[in-house]
Amino acid sequence: MTQQRKLLLTVAGFDPSGGAGVLLDAAVWRDCGFRVAAVLTAVTVQNTAGVKSIHPLSARLVRAQWRAVAEDGPIAGIKIGMAGTAINLLAIVRMLERHPGIPRVVDPVFRASSGARLIEPAAAPVFLQGLRGRATLLTPNLDEASRLAGIPVRTVADMEKAAGIIFERSAVPCLVKGGHLSGAAVNLLYDGRRMRRFARTRLAGDVHGTGCYLSSSILAFLVVGRDLPEAVRLATAATHRAIRRSLPAGCGRSRFDL
């Protein structure tokens, strides 16, 4: 199977501004030469200035979308983003169980950068338990890592502790995204054996969808055969370059130029 024929699946919410969710995943992967399919978990009402409302889809509809895609040919990689509800999360866990031999990156989107909650509170406590051993990588940001580990995460030392707790609870390697740290932007990867840091100089500006871009890029590099640390290194560099190329959009945050 050539790269151009490989199909990647995004399971996430719909952002009508195109700055995150399934539209951004699709743009990143098409830019890399992949085919793309999407399973929607929720429809959001938002623009570049922020989220106005969120409308989760039913788990029945989420499962039906996935079955239709899976019947149509092999899936080479899956990225999970916003689940929307706890019951949708259970449907997603079953999806991941059915595709054990491919890269599966889970970006636990709990809250938008504007502050809007993107998943019901009941879903967060069952997240790691349901996910256990069923993914290649988890990519929480500082706030999400804090929720999953149950500790405040404000420093690189906190990130290391949280990554260890998350791995212990999920049996899944964890990349804590440190884009909101003060000072240099540091992403920290723990695979159960070793902590690795991936640091970049912080760039000026406020770009929508950076975490989404990073996790999508990691999946793309995993699918073409890079090991996990190398995929994270390459995706971190690619995201840094994309932030440099981002453009103002609408009346709010900048967007990637894709």
Site of tokens 């788990």: 59
Report pLDDT digits (tens) over 44-74: 998 888 888 889 999 999 999 999 999 999 9
The H or E element containing residue 174 is: strand 174-176
Contact residues for 175 (Cβ-Cβ < 8 A; gap 6+): 137, 138, 139, 140, 163, 187, 188, 189, 218, 232
**184 phi, psi to nearest 5 deg:** -65, 150
Higher per-residue confidence, 120 vs 126:
126
Q: Please tell me the class of the 3-245 domain.
A: alpha beta
145/135 Cα distance (integer angstroms): 16
Average pLDDT over residues 97-102: 94
**Axis-axis angle for helices 21-31, 210-223 (nearest 10):** 40
- Complete edge-to-edge strand list for the sheet that includes strand 7-14: 50-56, 35-47, 7-14, 77-80, 104-106, 137-138, 174-176, 185-190, 195-200
Predicted confidence band at 245 (pLDDT cuts at 50, 70, 90)? confident
Short-list 71, 34, 19, CA closest to 251: 19
Let me know if 149 is exposed, middle or buried by CB neighbors in 10 A (0-12, 13-18, 19+). Answer: buried
**Domain extent listing, the chain:** 3-245
Predicted confidence band at 18 (pLDDT cuts at 50, 70, 90)? confident
> Is residue 2 predicted with pLDDT exceeding 50?
no
Average pLDDT over residues 148-168: 94
pLDDT reported for residue 1: 37
185/33 Cα distance (integer angstroms): 28
> Is residue 4 predicted with pLDDT exceeding 70?
no
